[in-house]
Structure 1
């Protein structure tokens, strides 16, 4: 598995893509206090701090989540004082280095009326978190068979100059037909039309998905950690003392 190095400015953006999105193209979805931000809770479950080494950012995050609250953040393996890590997930981040993007004649644009079907497909295939308003984050495309939604892919994080392809999933009964690849190419076509570059994340243990993405033109940029952190009891007792 090869790894690429991006230029300094792009690397900085993709090292903290949720913060770049929440303070940029997705600012209208953001709840922000100082150096911390999160998506509206029915849009996406992601939080971000401007700088994980800045105590001010963690103070702002504490105010955002409230006493004893939890936050899903990227890149944190050791929580700062007043916080504890209660869960860790390992992943990879891949970027487009040779993807052939093209519209798909069978792909249909999905919207709010399709959310119940989307949530059902996501629940059965588990591509990652998807909430009732995630569909508003960008273009979501699906393929139907006899009216039933059988495959899905769309746009999630949008740091400036980049768009994440996410929620790539196919009904188990229809796998092996190349539907996911077709939808990734179709979503990427819209991203590239805007002059942006696709990237995506996958679980580190999902070797099949990683191989698929690499085979169609994505390259591993870095390994990632996503952590669920929680304010410790001592921290919020001290705040209220």
Structure 2
């Protein structure tokens, strides 16, 4: 059975929907908002996504432990036709399938977390108002100061799922999304940060709680990625009801 391009969103939704938390980002990328930037590859029941909306492109390949070997075969077949440089988000155990074609530079282990105890949201004070395109300058300034090097797709403001907290007219805390798809019932939090001078006051938890409550009106699964060694962020997310669901590894791949 050879790897092949897959263009049928219904087929992809069925395969990915068997584990919607593990595949939340991929399910979200089936949405019209992201679909034009995607290339999908399938071998049997296994699926990999190459997302072209960033430079370099990003390969997403996730599998439950029982399916790691099968997904590894897909990646080994796919490796010769991938770009010469790309990022990759991979479930543990998949790097061997790419190591013969690429040099892999580690970007660290991450947790995939999911909102599994939304009752905790009620115990967290909420803050934040929706941000719009007019807020872009302030948002860029906040990220430059508080979260340099983060990946921020400005188009995501169009979803209406970015909330901000202001003090004295200045944006000091924000929470947004990397993925938001009411059609496929998934969302992934991203671009969450607080101005360094305002940290330790609960603003991060407050704006995340407000955004989660807002997202739950439209989607079933609210997820996020967080670096495994970012203990403060993990504690924040656990406080508002997230739990660790799976781990994955980030890599930079460069053709040999």
Change (3 A) 1:96 1:105: closer
In 1, are the aligned partners of 2:101 and 2:255 still within 8 Å (CA)? yes
Q: Distance in 2 between matches of 1:164 and 1:39?
A: 18
Equivalence for 2:21? 14
Change (3 A) 1:29 1:122: farther
TM value normalised by structure 1: 0.75
Of the candidates 77, 86, 95, which is equivalent to residue 77 of structure 1?
95
SS, match of residue 73 in structure 2: coil
User: Any unmatched runs of 5+ in structure 2?
Assistant: 1-14, 43-48, 63-70
Equivalence for 1:5? none
1:155 aligns with 2:173: no
Within-5 A mapping of 1:53-132: 53-54=73-74, 55-60=76-81, 62=82, 65=83, 68-75=84-91, 76-80=94-98, 81-99=100-118, 100-101=120-121, 107-126=128-147, 128-132=150-154
In 2, are the aligned partners of 1:17 and 1:158 still within 8 Å (CA)? no
> Structure 1 residue 140: deviation in Å?
0.6
> Structure 1 residue 143: deviation in Å?
0.8
Deviations 1:130-170 (A, max 9, x none): 24434346611101112111000012134733211121111
SS, match of residue 95 in structure 2: coil
Deviations 1:81-125 (A, max 9, x none): 322212331111211122344798852211233223222212222
Q: Distance in 1 between matches of 2:72 and 2:155?
A: 28
SS, match of residue 133 in structure 1: helix
Moved over 4 A (4+): 8-11, 49-52, 100-106
Larger RCO (CA within 8 A; separation ≥ 6): 1
Aligned residues: 219
In 1, are the aligned partners of 2:72 and 2:97 still within 8 Å (CA)? no
Equivalence for 2:249? 225
User: Any unmatched runs of 5+ in structure 1?
Assistant: 1-7, 233-241
CA RMSD of aligned residues (A): 3.2
Q: Distance in 2 between matches of 1:177 and 1:215?
A: 14
> Structure 1 residue 183: deviation in Å?
1.0
> Structure 1 residue 10: deviation in Å?
6.0
Equivalence for 1:204? 228
Q: Distance in 1 between matches of 2:145 and 2:254?
A: 29
